[in-house]
Amino acid sequence: MKPVTCYIKERSLLARLAARYMGGNQIAMVIGKTIHLHGATREDFLSHKWWVRHEICHVMQYRELGLIPFLWKYLWECARVGYYANRFEVEARAAEHNSAIMERVVIV
């Protein structure tokens, strides 16, 4: 299986809007294969392995389900059980401790 190429977008407007909505100063969010950052530099983000693994898990979820199906299911989960209990977030928090998730990933 070929590696998954992921991208990082610093100073993302989408991430800034999400940070405002979530009430946070730093946020990373994934759309497709791009990790959008607000309040954190690329270097800061990459220095926190748990954070990178969390977001890479979301990249893999997008890859498995597709862009629109993932977004729909993610938002439905949030509406149904809330952000913290959302199954996609539960899986991403578990991935924070799994170094194997990075084996087939290239971040450019």
Give the helix, strand, coil percentages of the chain, each rounded to 5: 55, 20, 25
pLDDT in tens, 4-58: 999 999 999 999 999 998 898 999 999 999 999 999 999 999 999 999 999 999 9
User: Is 3:108 a contact under the CB 8 Å cutoff?
Assistant: no
The answer, as to whether pTM is greater than 0.75, is yes
Span 76-95, mean pLDDT? 96
Confidence at residue 22, expressed as pLDDT on a 0 to 100 scale: 87
Confidence at residue 39, expressed as pLDDT on a 0 to 100 scale: 97
Domain boundaries, the chain: 4-107
